[in-house]
Amino acid sequence: MNPAGQVSPTEVPSETIAPPATRLAPPCTLVIFGAHGDLTKRLLTPALYNLTGGGLLDKDFTVIGVDRLDGSDESWRQELGQTMQEFTKDPNAEFYTPEINQGWWSDLSGRMHYTKADFTDVGQLEALKQQVQGNAIFYLAVASRFFATVVENLGKAGLTQQSEGVFRRVVVEKPFGADLESSRALNARLLAVLDESQIYRIDHFLGKETVQNILALRFGNGIFEPLWRSQFIDHVQITAAETVGVEGRGAFYEPTGALRDMIPNHLFQLLAMVAMEPPNSFSAETVRTAKEQLFEAIRPVAPENAVRGQYAAGTVQGRAVKAYRDSPGVAADSVTETYVALKLEIENWRWQGVPFYMRTGKSMTGRLTEVVVHFKQAPFAMFADTPVDRLAPNNLTLNIQPTQGLTMGISAKIPGPKMDLAGVEMRFRYEDAFKLTPNVGYETLLYDCLTGDATLFQRADNIEAAWRVVDPALRAWEADKAGPELYAAGSAGPSGADALLERDGRAWMKLDRAT
């Protein structure tokens, strides 16, 4: 991450995506395994396009796309160029820009080359050696079952060998393992070939500006941190609700489910940003050690504190949605969860007694990713003889998406002769203060990997610690034949999730409220 972005909002140039002080990334060959895959088309290419436009790539930066299908540089460039054009048509896509800057695109596409190879075959990877000289990053945009094999083959082909002034790095996507045991086994296989410092386990949530802003908010201001503890905070809610369903991803989603897909990675990263102790610097090791200490303090989730649901047919924002079980690639009697809610307890001085509730789900009533910090109520006695019958709770919402900003809920006096109060909001919105440029979040992460900054990537112990927390829920669900509770597509999730909070005298924030 680049902590040096100290520019006033009006100074942010409209044409670039990076603060002016950002340095050029070193020359490097980026080898993408899975050249035809969705990740490459929909996220990596727009990110590289934005980095090109930001003038952040060295003149000797090149991309080699590797896949099993026949193809040429020209056909690959055309295929990616087509997807880029489609981005100009859909403002709701992962990336939207009203027009593609032809100068940026021809600069980038001229650096892109295609190689047909089967990455499970060492011999075919050895052939890559001629093309890959000097610094290289190997990006595993492939199904997770291939991660270890590709890394082992890269090792055998001598492609992971670093030398003085030359780096060789590997970017690994999620899911990183399917539980504690398999994540340990995967880490062990990668670490038999690579040094930990060569492995960049990516979590795209950490590429989101609003997620990185949580650190800026907590540690760059004097007013929040003193209140950021059990003395003043009642509980915290972390939500990542989606209106999309499983769409065409049934084959991936069936053995994965909402918990593995979202919790030990994305939601735990949000949790870490909100709950870790202040690190002394942004250095990768300091930040990742702070996360590790937090994760180690979380009690493994008790099965009664884990709720799962699966969407049945319904209507999402006016659109009829079929049941999850009727989606392509999904078993008619599937027990895969498309919704999960957890109550987590952190056993350290700062958070003892402050529950962290998290939930994520597909086909829900609203699209909303946010963290809401609920502060303790003010004493009521002073208002006993007034028309006030209850005080609005004070909460601080870190709006991550679609709204990007910060919202503070406070009580204010309703103008008039009587002392009566109403809940009102103080709002900061990114788009009001800064010029936002279209990006997919992978820009920062790719740039960080090129410059060797692993702050926003997960260390082996971080991943294992997160799996350790959620493992008891996975084990309990495996043994429980009842399966997940059904919820109607377009609803706020299963009733069991409401009960989880009601038990504690609390309620979830509404998903369809205006933000």
Q: Which residues sit at the interface with ligand BG6, rule CB under 6 A?
A: 242, 261, 369
Catalytic residue flag (residue 266): yes
Residue-wise DSSP of 353-384:
T--EEEEEESSBSS-EEEEEEEEPPPP-GGGT
Nearer to ligand BG6, 42 or 429 (CB): 42
Please report how close the Cβ of residue 369 comes to ligand BG6 at its closest, in angstroms: 6
Asked whether 372 and 509 are in contact (CB, 8 A), the reply is yes
Cis peptide before 402 (omega within 30 of 0): yes
Please report how close the Cβ of residue 432 comes to ligand BG6 at its closest, in angstroms: 22
For residue 140, give Cα distances in angstroms to 45, 146, 438: 14, 9, 25
Separation between Cα atoms, residue 171 and residue 160, nearest integer Å: 12
Nearer to ligand BG6, 206 or 396 (CB): 206
Comparing CA positions, the residue from 44, 26, 27 lying closest to residue 35 is 44
**Which helix H or strand E contains 408, and what residues bound it?**
strand 405-413
Nearer to ligand BG6, 369 or 444 (CB): 369
Strand order in the sheet with 112-116: 112-116, 62-67, 29-33, 136-140, 168-172, 199-201
Which of 36, 204, 235, 266 is an active site residue? Answer: 266
Residue-wise DSSP of 235-261:
EEEEEEE-S---TT-HHHHTTTHHHHH
Minimal CB distance residue for ligand BG6: 261
Nearer to ligand BG6, 25 or 241 (CB): 241
Separation between Cα atoms, residue 77 and residue 325, nearest integer Å: 37
Cis peptide before 355 (omega within 30 of 0): no
Please report how close the Cβ of residue 46 comes to ligand BG6 at its closest, in angstroms: 13
DSSP state of 278: P
Burial class (CB in 10 A: 0-12, 13-18, 19+), 434: middle
Separation between Cα atoms, residue 258 and residue 227, nearest integer Å: 32
Please report how close the Cβ of residue 333 comes to ligand BG6 at its closest, in angstroms: 22
Please report how close the Cβ of residue 503 comes to ligand BG6 at its closest, in angstroms: 28
Asked whether 189 and 154 are in contact (CB, 8 A), the reply is no
Nearer to ligand BG6, 188 or 244 (CB): 244
Nearer to ligand BG6, 76 or 147 (CB): 147
Asked whether 391 and 421 are in contact (CB, 8 A), the reply is yes
DSSP state of 277: P
Please report how close the Cβ of residue 117 comes to ligand BG6 at its closest, in angstroms: 26
Nearer to ligand BG6, 173 or 292 (CB): 173
Pairing of strands 306-312, 485-488: parallel
Which residues are part of the catalytic machinery? 266
